[in-house]
Amino acid sequence: MRQSLIMGNWKMNGSRESAKSLSSAILAGLVENENATIAVCVPYVYLSDLQALTANSPVEIGAQNVADQASGAYTGEISSSMLQEFDCKYALVGHSERRSYYGDTDASVAARFCEAQKNGVIPVLCIGETLAEREQGDTFNVVNTQLDAVIAVAGIAALANAVIAYEPVWAIGTGVTASDDQAQEVHKAIRARIASKDQAIADNMQILYGGSMKAANAKGLLSMPDIDGGLIGGASLDAESFLAIYHSV
């Protein structure tokens, strides 16, 4: 039985004060749910505050990216060993905003994935098609290519310590969400792709849905058999909305 994972992605929002008040509000309203893990991926500079605030709480913390190198002359990058010092359990890799605005490629995403795992940080591999790709009937090709690029470098066994987030690019931050069936269809295909290489890993793999998930649509999405949680942007910036999703699992 797979545990659900409800993960917030704050992106580049807020201030040090609002990061503290949002996390305090999450902690204050949280009713522990044995069916789900709760986590927030916050801007690097707030990790220290979040580490202190969430210590001894059910809330796990994560980063929104991680370097593709271990250390050295890589100005502006943050390594997984640095993240690990802040009790960062997760790091997103290959978010579509990284891929489209900052040039992250399948190769660099695979390298980031491997670097995260070297220090025990669980990579959350984000994959998903654009609207044009969906309209061309390329959805499965695109997600398989993004997935295979990581498996080719990391090996299938590495997926045992990873999470996948299926995030259709056309649903991210648009208010348009994939329907329950649309999302389930792709999640099922992703799991089948993994199962073709390792059935046990596929059975245990947490595959999250991301893209305009909110309290109103979460229940339907999260009740689909291959959807094991959510990666939530906008709605995670409001403690009440975020907790409503977590509590609905």
Rounded least distance, CB 119 to ligand PGA, Å: 23
Among 9, 117, 146, 217, binds ligand PGA (CB under 6 A): 9
Nearest to 146 by CA among 131, 116, 161, 168: 168
Q: Does residue 233 bind ligand PGA (CB under 6 A)?
A: yes
The one catalytic residue among 95, 129, 133, 247:
95
Give the active site residue among 129, 167, 187, 247.
Answer: 167
211 part of the interface to ligand PGA, by CB under 6 A: yes
173 binds ligand PGA, rule: CB under 6 A: yes
Helix (H) or strand (E) holding 144: helix 139-154
Q: Confirm or reject binding of residue 104 to ligand PGA (CB under 6 A).
A: no
Clarify whether 187 is annotated catalytic.
no
Q: Which residue is nearest to ligand PGA (CB)?
A: 233
Q: Annotated catalytic, 95?
A: yes
Span of 43-51, 61-69, 204-212, 218-226 interacting with ligand PGA by CB under 6 A: 204-212
Instruction: List the beta bridge partners of residue 122.
Output: 90
Residue 91: how many other CB atoms lie within 10 Å: 26
Q: Could you say which residues in the range 25-84 bind ligand PGA, by CB under 6 A?
A: none
Hey, is 7 helix, strand or coil?
strand
Question: Which is closer to ligand PGA, CB of 175 or CB of 225?
Answer: 175
- In sequence order, what are the residues at sequence separation of 6 or more whose Cβ sits closer than 8 angstroms to the Cβ of residue 159? 151, 194, 198, 201, 205
List strand residue ranges (DSSP E) for the chain, in order.
Answer: 4-9, 36-41, 59-63, 88-93, 122-127, 163-166, 206-210, 229-232
Say which DSSP state 229 is in: E
Tell the smallest beta-carbon distance from residue 237 to ligand PGA (Å).
Answer: 9
Query: Binder to ligand PGA among 128, 168, 210, 229 (CB under 6 A)?
Result: 210
- Please tell me whether residue 172 binds ligand PGA under the rule CB under 6 A: yes
Q: Is there a contact between 92 and 124 (Cβ–Cβ < 8 Å)?
A: yes
Please name the residues in contact with 79: beta carbons below 8 A apart, sequence gap of 6 or more.
66, 67, 69, 70, 71, 115, 119
Query: How many residues belong to the site for ligand PGA (CB under 6 A)?
Result: 13
Catalytic positions: 95, 167
Judged by the rule CB under 6 A, the positions of this chain that interact with ligand PGA are: 9, 167, 172-173, 210-213, 231-235
